[in-house]
Amino acid sequence: MILSSFLLALAQMADPRFRNVLWRGIGLTIALLVGIYAGLLWLIGVLTAAPITLPGVGQITWLGDLLSWGSLGLMIVLSVFLMVPVASAITSLFLDEVAAAVEDTHYPELSPVPATGLAEGLRDTFSFLGLLIMANLAAFALYVMLPFAAFFIFYALNGFLLGREYFQLAAMRRIGRVAARNMVKRHQGTIWLAGCLMAVPLSFPFVNLLIPVLGAATFTQLFHKLNR
């Protein structure tokens, strides 16, 4: 069931609606990361605007440049780890389009559903984004303490988060939020395993950017199979 859902989603990746969501998600993610970096530079500029004088050293004028270059390195490192979680969260705004494309192709007998409201979509997106970022940052402590298990922790954690969120978002379109959560509880093992399958490509640069769209399509397929 999981593999067939994944293969059906993979076969549909050439769908123009999938590509539109993919490019929008990547574009908005890059814009968000650039905006965060610009805000960080502004904050550094404000904090270092006045000269700093140290006893025995005198005025320090190079602190702003040091922090600016240091922040660039920090943002590059953070972007490697945050690019996919942020793209995943942002793409959830456009899940309706991916799910609609899947249903139009494979489940044409289904009636259309109303699009998710902007306020509700933004709430779910920022909730998911915050959870992904906090969980992955917290996992760094486990990576340091248990380096031999780092890969398993990464896949298990992100598999759980991606699986739960994408399945719930796909299910809510058809059966509502409460019923979707109950369905997640009933099929938690299957959903987690499918999420782990989605987490494996996260280790591969550029390929990992496909995961938000591929995951949304896969879990739409999985929801319909389980809902039967």
Q: How many domains does the chain have?
A: 1
Q: Is residue 170 within 8 Å of 223, Cβ to Cβ?
A: yes
Identity of the amino acid at 171: A
The number of beta carbons lying within 10 Å of the beta carbon of residue 31 is: 11
pLDDT of residue 215: 86
pLDDT of residue 194: 92
Tell me the residue range of the domain where 143 lies. 2-227
Identity of the amino acid at 168: Q
φ, ψ of residue 15 to 5 degrees: the values are -60, 130
pLDDT of residue 149: 82
Q: What is the pLDDT along the chain (228 residues), one digit of tens a residue?
A: 888 998 888 888 888 988 888 888 777 777 777 777 777 777 766 666 656 665 655 555 655 566 666 666 666 666 666 666 666 666 667 778 888 899 989 998 888 776 666 666 667 767 777 777 777 777 777 877 888 888 888 888 888 888 888 898 889 888 888 898 899 999 999 999 998 888 887 767 677 778 888 888 999 999 999 987
**Share in percent of the chain as helix, strand, coil (round to 5):** 85, 5, 15
The pair of structure tokens assigned to 212 is: 């938000």
pLDDT of residue 193: 92
List Cα–Cα distances, 80 to 28, 33, 134, 177, in angstroms: 16, 11, 15, 32
Q: Is residue 210 within 8 Å of 86, Cβ to Cβ?
A: no
Of 195, 124, 112, 201, whose CA–CA distance to 159 is shortest? Answer: 195
pLDDT of residue 80: 60
Measure the CA–CA gap between 89 and 121, rounded to whole angstroms: 10
Measure the CA–CA gap between 125 and 93, rounded to whole angstroms: 6
pLDDT of residue 205: 67
Contacts of residue 159, defined as CB under 8 A and 6 or more positions apart, other chains included, come to 192, 193, 194, 195, 196, 197, 198, 199
pTM of the model: 0.74
